[in-house]
């Protein structure tokens, strides 16, 4: 088994956010189609340029061909989104939840660790603050990164409905929190 890290200066997954740069829809669709045609297991995405850290999981296996498909973003060693108060309220929970985001200055580390029960190393992502403390962490086992050609439908029509349902729910949650804060 081989891990394949694919790196981009901008985030891959988040096509539900109007305030951040990400891949164009056509480019992302071609990228997912290329992955489906290659049928390669062990792919993990790495990105940045959002001025915070985030561990994302694609929620639609039919679109990507993986039951678990991850992207890790880390950026902001000199400045971060902590200056943008309330940014977490405008980020939908489609790909990550609040516990998977860190808004302080940070850097990412990647480790391969062999455990006693497996000869294939686990992939361990650590997001650290500038003091070097771990603020986010995710251990990924290779067996969770297996491409399944039986589930892939790269042009799943249900994806758009799923994505926007989450965007609307996040906006409703944000409005509810603001109303609670007011009283």
* Strand ranges inside 38-121, DSSP E: 43-47, 53-57, 70-73, 101-102, 106-113
Beta strands 122-129 and 134-140, pairing class: antiparallel
Q: Which tens digits make up the pLDDT trace of 36-93?
A: 889 999 999 999 888 899 999 988 888 888 989 999 999 888 877 766 666 777 788 8
Exposed/middle/buried for residue 35 (C-beta within 10 Å: 0-12, 13-18, 19+): buried
Q: What is the mean pLDDT of residues 140-156?
A: 83
- With H, G, I as helix, E, B as strand and everything else as coil, classify residue 91: coil
Q: What is the mean pLDDT of residues 3-31?
A: 84
> What whole-number percentage of the chain has pLDDT above 90?
39
Q: Give the per-residue pLDDT at 167.
A: 58
Q: Which of 11, 2, 59 is nearest to 31 (CA)?
A: 11
Please state, in angstroms and rounded to a whole number, the distance separating the CA atoms of residues 68 and 145.
6
- Of 57-71, 107-121, 163-177, where does mean pLDDT reach its minimum? 163-177
pTM over 0.75: yes
Per-residue burial over 117-128, b if 16 or more Cβ lie within 10 Å, else e, is eeeeebbebbbb
């Amino acid at each position: 088994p081989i891990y394949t890290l694919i790196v981009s200066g901008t985030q891959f997954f988040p096509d539900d956010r109007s305030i951040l740069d990400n891949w164009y829809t056509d480019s992302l669709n071609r990228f997912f189609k290329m992955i489906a045609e290659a049928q390669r297991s062990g792919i993990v995405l790495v990105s940045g340029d959002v001025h915070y850290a985030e561990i994302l999981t694609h929620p639609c296996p039919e679109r990507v061909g993986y039951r678990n498909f991850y992207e890790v973003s880390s950026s902001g060693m000199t400045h971060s989104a902590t200056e943008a108060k309330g940014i977490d309220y405008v980020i939908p929970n489609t790909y990550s939840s609040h516990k998977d985001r860190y808004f302080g200055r940070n850097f990412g580390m990647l480790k391969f660790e062999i455990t006693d029960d497996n000869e294939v190393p686990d992939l361990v992502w650590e997001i650290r603050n500038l003091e070097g403390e771990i603020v986010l962490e995710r251990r990924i086992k290779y067996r969770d990164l297996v491409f399944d050609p039986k589930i892939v439908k790269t042009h799943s029509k249900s994806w758009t409905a799923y994505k926007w349902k989450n965007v609307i729910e996040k906006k409703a949650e944000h409005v509810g929190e603001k109303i609670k804060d007011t009283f």
